[in-house]
Homo-oligomer: A and B are copies of this chain.
Amino acid sequence: MGNALIEYQNASPEVRAVFDDIMATRKTDWINNFWKALARDPATLQRTWESIKQIMAPGALDPLAKEMIYVAVSVTNQCGYCIASHTAAARSKGMNENMHAELLAVVGMANETNRLAAGYQVEIDERFKSQ
């Protein structure tokens, strides 16, 4: 019960409609476990998918850049599922080994300097405030 997944064949019409839209938008015939788990709560499934669809669409940033930002957050939060799924998504959108390596190097460094700034209790420069 705790981590049950709703498969397409057992899904309600409203859940199937979201699953169909996910597959159509992503040009795939496959639904990953995250959505099958969310399907236990159709309201959250629909709201989350609509939000993701809006946010991850091409805009001022391209979909690959957004996917790598998603990986950066997931790695910082130590979310195993999200690291696996969004790293795969980033690869499918064009992230090669070098880009992946540089992404992780920046994420690691940022996590380090975030703590150096906090530990040394560095005050924000006036210049950064007036921006």
Contacts and interface: CB of A to CB of B under 8 A. Distances in A.
Nearest to A36: B122
A101 interface: yes
Q: How large is the interface on A (under 10, 10 to 19, 20 to 34, 35 or more residues)?
A: 35 or more
A80 interface: yes
Task: Indicate the member of A56, A61, A106, A117 with the most B CB atoms within 10 Å.
Answer: A117
A115 B40 contact: no
How many identical chains are in the complex?
A: 6
A120 B107 CA distance: 12
Q: Which DSSP category, helix, strand, loop or mixed, fits chain A's interface?
A: helix
Contacts of A34: 113, 116-117, 120, 122
Contact of A3 (B61, B76, B122): B122
B81 A117 contact: yes
A34 B104 CA distance: 14
Contacts of A101: 40-41, 43-44, 60
Interface string A41-78: 10110011001101110011100011011111111111
